Amino acid sequence: MSNIRVDLKRTTDRSYTIFIQKEATLELPSYLKKHKVGEKYAIITDDKTQKLFGNALLRYLRKHHVQAEIITFEEGEKSKRLSVVESLAEKMVEKEFTRKDAIIALGGGVVGDIAGFLASIYFRGIPYIQIPTTLLAMVDSSIGGKTGVDMRCGKNLIGTTTQPIAVFIDTNYLKTLPVKQIRNGLAEIIKYGIIADQKLFKFIEQNLNKIFAHEEKAINYIIKRSVEIKVKIIEEDEKEKGKRMLLNYGHTYGHALELLSGYTLLHGYAISIGMVIINDIAIKKKLLKKAEAERIKKLLKNTELPTTTMRTPTLKDIASDKKREGDYINLVFPTKIGHAIILKEKL
């Protein structure tokens, strides 16, 4: 018998920069030219974001002599399907995009997940840049390289971990965001405070009015601090083998609630309920004091996020979650505001 070893040991630098400022996208043409990300760019966005920001971005890039085309799909979580990714890929082929080109993901979390996944598989992988337009996407899905689509039996069950080349967080986009979408993003920001930073949690408690009024200093602080927390965790655990699981606090039950609602429940709203459910379990396990859980629930209520559900997901409902390992599932429990732990629970 002959043995031939395939030696592929190598290190690849996947580092990238996250730009956070008003009008950050104005710097995009010079960045693309300087770093030669692609020869041509496919702006992947949904039909709603196309009208709000997509057409303007396309004109701006072309004005600065950057070759670009815009490709859209129907807005909403219902579009996170393999069939939509295939349709987008076919449109890219029709427009003659090659492996020397790149994708710009412009939109919320659904756009970022779909565009990032498409970039990771198109011609076996091309570069992509994230431009999140919602608060939720700015602090969560645009960072860390998670991409993917849903299946009928669960959320984000097909995907890759593929880091973007850069992330441009342009806080100007928040000016047109409906208040329900600010709440949607705040659920994730509150999550960061609970798992990693009591100071951030307290800041939100004391500055809700400023946040909802789009006061620049308050908005910049909660975005920057959330990004810092997520980046630190990802740097330690890119592939979610350990510490990155902390980011799933509230998500196992939250994802089940999204599925049960037919994805009519906003992600942040589902996570809000999911955090309350897991807090109640933590109290029963004597991991979390009731006073801490009540403080968390009070902030969620003050943010006007939901904290109850007509039907609490069962163990069967969460069994298809991607964090399952055999007969066990990893759950994140807060032990106090600012700290959380990961425990394996039997299904």
* 328: pLDDT strictly greater than 90: no
Instruction: Identify whether 124 is a catalytic site residue.
Output: yes
Identify the CATH assignment for 17-173 out of 3.90.440.10, 3.40.50.1970, 3.40.190.10, 3.40.50.300: 3.40.50.1970
Instruction: Identify whether 210 is a catalytic site residue.
Output: no
Instruction: Identify whether 255 is a catalytic site residue.
Output: yes
The pLDDT score that the predictor gives to residue 321 is: 64
What residue type is 91 in one-letter code?
A: K
Fold match flag (17-173 vs 179-346): no
Q: Which two tokens stand for residue 158?
A: 């097909």
Cα-based angle 330, 332, 334 (whole degrees, multiple of 5): 160
Instruction: Identify whether 230 is a catalytic site residue.
Output: yes
CA distances from 216 to 19, 21, 204 (A): 16, 10, 14
Instruction: Identify whether 243 is a catalytic site residue.
Output: no
Rounded CA gap, 197 and 3, in Å? 52
Task: For the chain, give every domain's residue range.
Answer: 17-173, 179-346
Mean pLDDT over 71-77 rounds to 96
Q: What is the pTM of this model?
A: 0.93
Phi, psi of 131 (to 5 degrees): -125, 90
Q: Which two tokens stand for residue 186?
A: 């705040």
The pLDDT score that the predictor gives to residue 323 is: 63
Instruction: Identify whether 64 is a catalytic site residue.
Output: no
What residue type is 273 in one-letter code?
A: I
Q: Which of 69, 75, 77, 146 is catalytic?
A: 146
The pLDDT score that the predictor gives to residue 313 is: 85
Cα-based angle 88, 68, 36 (whole degrees, multiple of 5): 110
Q: Which of 69, 183, 225, 248 is catalytic?
A: 248
Q: Which of 183, 191, 230, 297 is catalytic?
A: 230
The pLDDT score that the predictor gives to residue 90 is: 98
Q: Which of 183, 251, 297, 323 is catalytic?
A: 251
Q: Which of 80, 183, 191, 267 is catalytic?
A: 267
- Tens of pLDDT, residues 161-207: 999 999 999 999 999 999 999 999 999 999 999 999 999 999 999 99
Instruction: Identify whether 339 is a catalytic site residue.
Output: no
- Tens of pLDDT, residues 93-124: 999 999 999 999 999 999 999 999 999 999 99
Q: Which CATH superfamily is domain 179-346 in?
A: Dehydroquinate synthase-like - alpha domain (1.20.1090.10)
Instruction: Identify whether 324 is a catalytic site residue.
Output: no
